Amino acid sequence: MIKINTIRIALLLTLSLSLTLHASAQKKVPVIAATSSQSMIYDGMIKMPWALDPKVKRDVYYVNVPHRKNKISLVTDQGKVSFNTTYGNDYDLVVVLNSKDSCHVRISAKDDPATKALLPGGSFPDTIPFTLRGSRIYLQGLLNGRDTVSIQFDTGAGMACVSKASSERLNLAFGGKTVLSNSQGVNEVRKSANNNLTIGHLNFKGISLIETGNMQPGEDLIIGYNFLRHKIIEIDYDKQLFIVHDKLPAHAKTYSKQPLINRLSLKTRIVQNGKKYAFWVGMDTGRDGTMLIGQEFTEQPGVWNNLKELTMLNGRKIIRLDATVGGVTFKDIVTNAADPTKPAARKTGTYFGNVILNHFNWIIDNINGYIYLKPNGRINEPYSNFSSYETEMKKIKQQ
């Protein structure tokens, strides 16, 4: 005797296949089971939580570097499906949740429409001078054809932001709100849509700006690297030039090369307390410091307990470490590490700040999915290390 539940599952699987078969050019659509709505997508080095929702007609995940051939996997608590992707193609699968609900997922090796909308007009290559304040990169631009603005280029920024101190001067129209998570916490903030921004010969149309109150004096806007997700970005600290290419420049062959992964991360060797670790450390040009050790690193088995602290500060370990990236070792970096057992509003990442990053010239090839780096004329400039830490500690003790 066949159980009713078994018949129901078979009918659901048949229905799921028939709905998606045509969209996949008559290829068989994989079907897997799940008893939890929480699944995971693996895209190269990226581990992306993915919520399964049967109410969504087709939930689309856009491959991080679509132009590069990739292996993408979706993993549930009951199974796994993998695709070898090539640019321009879609890959469909069905997850049957709790033996009753069909969740349709598409892996798309195409440009994400959300970032494609930022594709700038202009001629390439476009060479734009920048200035350094502290260690941060600043560009000059024109907002809405009338206002000169100072723009920080921040690879750690997920949204384009406008300073609350500048909003009135720029006469922006705010017609909506959104949720922003930054150093001020998670807050509902105002949003201004349909703005035009010119940087050099680049023209960005119809952009949204999120208002925030945590920007530095003299900053009007912050933009992230998503603004140029479909171009090749060169940052030359020696000449203080920001160059946007549509083809890889010939001199890239003189740089060291590594894969581009989500959040612009660098393959790094870390040595601390005699222990060696390999980790992908994020690039945050908006961080005016050396390094930050977040929970993504310290939550790995045994890491937190093995980190030897110089002292404790607000529940964080102040630690001394060596970090090697791009063939260069930065010795005796002093930074802080987050306790993975402490609750936090969001899991903190591990980043290099621009005090380290500006020791290299960069080429970020978003088209083919590689980062090129080369030590520059700043390679011997000082950074926050153990000697400076000791000096500060002596000053504190003398007070």
- Average pLDDT in the chain: 86
At residue 344, the pLDDT reads 66
At residue 20, the pLDDT reads 41
Q: pLDDT tens digits, residue range 311-347?
A: 998 889 999 999 999 999 999 999 999 999 987 655 6
Domain 124-229 has CATH 2.40.70.10: yes
Among residues 142, 39, 139, the alpha carbon closest in space to that of 81 is found at 39
Query: CB of 219 within 8 A of CB of 153?
Result: no
**What mean pLDDT do residues 255-272 have?**
88
Is the pLDDT score of 12 beyond 60? no
Banded model confidence at residue 6, pLDDT cuts 50, 70, 90: very low
At residue 346, the pLDDT reads 58
Run of H or E including 13: helix 4-21
Run of H or E including 116: helix 113-116
What is the distance between the alpha carbons of residues 73 and 312, in angstroms, rounded to a whole number?
40
Q: Residue 19, class by beta-carbon neighbours within 10 Å (0-12 exposed, 13-18 middle, 19+ buried)?
A: middle
SS3 state at 314:
coil
**What mean pLDDT do residues 264-291 have?**
92
Query: CB of 351 within 8 A of CB of 291?
Result: yes
Q: pLDDT tens digits, residue range 357-391?
A: 999 999 999 888 899 999 999 998 888 787 877 77
3-class SS letters over 85-107: ECCCCEEEEEEEECCCEEEEEEE
Give the position of tokens 């000082």. Answer: 382
At residue 184, the pLDDT reads 60
In the structure encoding, which two tokens stand for residue 297, read together? 């690193």
Q: pLDDT tens digits, residue range 208-229?
A: 998 988 888 889 999 988 788 8
- The dihedrals phi and psi of 33, each to the nearest 5 degrees, come to -105, 160
At residue 209, the pLDDT reads 92
Banded model confidence at residue 181, pLDDT cuts 50, 70, 90: low
CA dist 213 to 82, 219, 224, 227, 385, Å?
43, 11, 17, 21, 30
Q: pLDDT tens digits, residue range 224-258?
A: 887 888 889 999 999 999 999 999 999 999 999 99
What is the distance between the alpha carbons of residues 228 and 56, in angstroms, rounded to a whole number?
30
Is the pLDDT score of 41 beyond 80? yes
What is the distance between the alpha carbons of residues 220 and 166, in angstroms, rounded to a whole number?
6
SS3 state at 394:
helix
SS3 state at 281:
strand
Hey, do 124-229 and 250-398 end up sharing a CATH topology, with the first three levels equal? yes
**What mean pLDDT do residues 89-95 have?**
96
Q: Residue 340, class by beta-carbon neighbours within 10 Å (0-12 exposed, 13-18 middle, 19+ buried)?
A: middle
Percentage with pLDDT > 90 across the chain:
60
Q: pLDDT tens digits, residue range 381-390?
A: 888 787 877 7
What is the distance between the alpha carbons of residues 115 and 161, in angstroms, rounded to a whole number?
16
- What is the fold of 250-398? Cathepsin D, subunit A; domain 1 (2.40.70)
Is the pLDDT score of 116 beyond 70? no
What is the distance between the alpha carbons of residues 374 and 137, in angstroms, rounded to a whole number?
18
Q: What is the DSSP string of 57-69?
A: S-EEEE-SSTTS-
Give the position of tokens 């946007």. Answer: 244
Query: CB of 353 within 8 A of CB of 219?
Result: no
SS3 state at 108:
strand
Domain borders along the chain are: 4-111, 124-229, 250-398
